[in-house]
Amino acid sequence: MDKMSLRKMEYYAYVGVFEEERKLGQRYYVDLELELDLKEAGLRDDLTLTVNYAEVHELLLGVMKNKQFKLIEALAEYIATEVLRTYTSIVALTVKVTKPHPPFDIHFEGVTVELHRTRK
Q: How far is it, in rounded angstroms, from Cα 46 to Cα 61?
A: 25
At residue 88, the 3 state secondary structure works out as coil
Q: How far is it, in rounded angstroms, from Cα 106 to Cα 57?
A: 32
Catalytic residue selected from 23, 65, 99, 120: 99
Contacts of residue 100, defined as CB under 8 A and 6 or more positions apart, other chains included, come to 27, 28, 29, 109, 110
Tell me, yes or no, if 99 is annotated catalytic. yes
Catalytic residues: 99
